[in-house]
Every structure is written in C-alpha cells, then in structure tokens.
Structure 1
Amino acid sequence: MARLTGRAAVAVAHRGDPYRARENTLPSFRSAIAAGADAVELDVRATADGVPVVVHDPTLRRLWGHDRPVAALTAAEVAELTGGGVPTLAAALAVTAPVRTLIDLPERSATTARATLAAVRAAGAADRVYYCGDPTALRAVREADPAAEIALTWHRATRPPATLLAEVRPRWLNFRFGLITEATVERARSQGYRVAAWTPDTRRTMRRLLALGVESLTTNRVTTLCRLLDRP
C-alpha cells in the first residue's frame, strides 16, 4: 500500500486546544491555530431561538455548571449563563478564518444542520468549512448543499452501509481511531474516499495511523501532532 508521509497529513484540533483552554471556546481555537493546526473541529447545536452556538453537550452542566438544555435556552440566555464563553458559530468562524473548520453536528436534527449551513453562508465561509457528525444531520447537509464537503463519522466495527454512503456522498470516511487497520485504509481508498481518524492523543497512536496512510487526524493534543509532523 502506498503510504503518505506524516507531512502530508491534516492536523485537526479537536474542539480547539482543550488541554490549554476550555474546549469549544474562542481562546481554545486561537491556541490551536497558534500551535499550527490545519483545521479546527467544533461542535454546533441550536438554541431555542434557532441560533447555532458552539457546544458539544446537550446541556451546559459539564463545562459551565448549569444543568440547562441548550435547546431550551435562547442565545442571549446561553451567553449570560456562560459569561459569553459559549460562542455563536458566527463568532467562531471569524476566529478560525486562518484555517479550515470542521463542523461536527452531534444532534440528530435536520433543522440545526440547515441553520448551520445558513450561518456558514452568511459568514462567507463555505469554501473553508466541512462537516461531520450525526448521519441524519449529514443527510440534511447534503440535501441543502450538493457541493458541501462531508466527513462521514463512523464508530462501529461494521462498514458504513452503501445506502448511507450514496445519500451522504462523503469525501472522507472519519473513523474512530481504534477501528483503523491497513485493510480499512485500502478498502476506503479503493472506493474513492479519503481516510480520517478521531481522536488519537498519544504519539504512538498518531505514528501508527500515519504509517497506515491516514490522511487526517483529529486530536485533543494538536501541539503533539504538529511536532510529530515537524511543523514549526
């Protein structure tokens, strides 16, 4: 199998740089970009008034100490409860403008997917954004934007169904890192897909994936990955 060199791989910062700044916040994104990331991955949910905001969990409990569902709060209420810590997608895209942005849509919501696409277009960021996340959301992305770049997230030992691949038409197959073998990479490439992995955080695992020819790594330790790739 033809293998890529490490330098050819894409370094994607998972929720920014969470070991240096709180995940999915503007300081975390800035830190990841300063560390040399090629792309920043962030999660998007919609508030009660339909505003896409950057937060992974369905509630504010884990990171912000408020056991309140994001979907039940307005954007103004989210900002108040978090001291402005949870950014809108528009604010995040302004900060991540120097690099690509991988938007993860974790909830099974076509409505949120469409609102996210609208925010991306309004920000003039469509040419530097791509998408991963829940299959239902990714189907909605594809329906709304035939040209959107999609990384189909996959975390099962079984192969992605042919029907799902036909509906979503991804450019990338985005595997949980433990699922990736030489056969996984070869099969994906033979079908015309690029291979991405999430979320390898040790040098040993990163090296293994790069040796297999994985073309994109999404990690919580982007500084470690960039050093492994010999980037300044």
Structure 2
Amino acid sequence: MSTRALAVAHRGDPYRYRENTLPSIVSALDAGADAVEVDVRLTRDGVPVLLHDPTLQRLWDDPRPLARLTLDQLAEIGGPGPRIPTLAEALKAVAEQPGTRLMIDLDDPGPAAAAWAAVTDLGAEDRVAFCGPATAVLALREAAPAAEVSLTWKQPRLPGRALLDDLRPRYLNPPFGLVDADLVAAARDEGLLVSTWTVDLRRTMRRMLGAGVASLTSNRIALLRATLGGRP
C-alpha cells in the first residue's frame, strides 16, 4: 500500500490555463503534480484528443461535436494560442518530467482501444494510468489487461466481488463526498487503495488525508502540493 498520498492535477492547472491543453499540463507538472488527469475523446477519424465535453462549445466557442471533426479540422481551432492536443502530444509532455504520469480519464468505452494504442506506440505504458466507470474499464481491459486502473465509483457501497475480479482496479475512485475512514478501511480489506476527486479546499484535502486516501485530484494543484508537504 502507498505511504504517501499522490497529488493529481485535474485537467492540468485549469485556474491558470485552459483545461486539457499542453500549457495547462506543463503548469501542473511544474507545480509538483505526481500525475495529470486528462479527458480523452475521439475525433471523427479516430484520433484520441484531450477534451471533456462532447462539443467544443464551452471551451472553444464552437458548437460542433468533436465526433464530427477530423484531426485536420481540429487543428484549425484555437488560432495561434493553445489548441486541443492529441493524447500523443500530452504523453510526450509528461515524458519530459521524470517521475510523473498521465491519468487518462475514459468517460465511456469508445476511446479505450485507441487510447491504449497511442500509449503503446510511444512505449509509455509505465507512464500512464486510467480512470473511468465500469463500462469504460471493461473495454480497456480487453486492450490492456495489466494497465493500472482507478474505478470511478459513485455509490456509497463497494463494488461486488465479481465486478472487482473482472475489472482488477488498483484504486476505488469515488467523489470526496462519499469518502470517510470506514470506506477507506473497507476498500483496504478488498485490497484496494482509495483515490478521490475533485478536492479544492484545504480543509477537505486534510479531511481526505485523515481518512487515509492514497490519491487526491484537484483543480488547485499548487495548494494540494503545499498541503501534502511540498514537492515529492
């Protein structure tokens, strides 16, 4: 079991740079993140890129769904400033920071195989972990039986033994509102660590650490790093 809680940056450093962009990732790593969580979706031509929403409206003021755009069309969005990066570009950015990793969040099963292919193409298997709900993890397991996984879980009870055996997660990953010492202890009895999200207040960070969580994800990575005691 881990003896030091990990600091995971939520979509990079989104209070300083636009989320899920390369400047945001680099800023989070510079602030001391152990890992950066990013959201992955597929373009129309099947390329995994970093975007949380199904459309480009919220971040890029473009109403089109990502699934209708090719990678070449996507390259035209954002102008000379930050743009929507590919997963491969994000992996290369993390590779430049020793000891750090990318946490690839799969909201649905669709990108699982392509995301793993991008990882293996770069030989980055030891620099990534994945998180997502059970359906996405099941799809990932077909392509990557040994990948490290955090099972995103929004129920107050632990998953059943059969599901855990199928998914083989290392972490149970509930939102912080569901986490207490009893849940952490119950997860430990099942051989699981507990990670949690999205923890942005210092008092909540301290409460999660007191409960025994092994990993915290935050939009405020510098504050989280300071709360954990500075750089690892």
CA deviation digits over 1:125-172, x for unaligned, max 9? 111101011322211111212111110011223432333222211011
Residue 191 of structure 1 aligns with which residue? 190
Cα 1:3–1:42 change in 2 (3 A) is closer
Residue 13 of structure 1 aligns with which residue? 9
> 8 Å contact 1:201–1:219 — kept in the other structure?
yes
Q: Which runs of 5+ in 1 are unaligned?
A: none
Residue 86 of structure 1 aligns with which residue? 84
Residue 64 of structure 2 aligns with which residue? 68
Secondary structure, counterpart of 1:80 in structure 2? coil
User: 1:3 deviation in Å?
Assistant: 11
1:68-217 equivalences in 2 (<5 Å)? 68-83=64-79, 85-97=83-95, 98=97, 99-109=100-110, 112-217=111-216
> 8 Å contact 2:2–2:214 — kept in the other structure?
no
Task: State whether structure 2 residue 18 is matched by structure 1 residue 22.
Answer: yes
CA deviation digits over 1:37-86, x for unaligned, max 9? 00011010011100000111111000000011111110111121233610
Q: Distance in 1 between matches of 2:2 and 2:145?
A: 31
Secondary structure, counterpart of 2:58 in structure 1? helix
Q: Distance in 2 between matches of 1:192 and 1:40?
A: 24
Paired residue total: 226
Residue 52 of structure 1 aligns with which residue? 48
Q: Provide TM-score, normalisation by structure 1.
A: 0.93
Q: Distance in 2 between matches of 1:70 and 1:164?
A: 32
Please provide the CA RMSD for this pair. 1.6
- Matched to 1:32, the amino acid is A
> 8 Å contact 1:120–1:126 — kept in the other structure?
yes
> 8 Å contact 1:16–1:24 — kept in the other structure?
yes
Secondary structure, counterpart of 1:71 in structure 2? helix
Cα 1:102–1:3 change in 2 (3 A) is closer
Q: Distance in 2 between matches of 1:70 and 1:166?
A: 34
- Matched to 1:14, the amino acid is H
* Structure 1 segments of 4+ aligned residues over 4 angstroms from their partners: none
- Matched to 1:212, the amino acid is A
> 8 Å contact 2:109–2:137 — kept in the other structure?
no
Q: Distance in 1 between matches of 2:227 and 2:86?
A: 32
Secondary structure, counterpart of 1:81 in structure 2? coil
Q: Provide TM-score, normalisation by structure 2.
A: 0.93
Q: Distance in 1 between matches of 2:122 and 2:116?
A: 10
> 8 Å contact 2:109–2:139 — kept in the other structure?
no
- Matched to 1:173, the amino acid is L
Task: State whether structure 2 residue 32 is matched by structure 1 residue 40.
Answer: no
Q: Distance in 2 between matches of 1:157 and 1:191?
A: 15
Q: Distance in 2 between matches of 1:90 and 1:105?
A: 15
- Matched to 2:76, the amino acid is E
> 8 Å contact 1:41–1:102 — kept in the other structure?
yes
Q: Which runs of 5+ in 2 are unaligned?
A: none
Secondary structure, counterpart of 1:13 in structure 2? strand
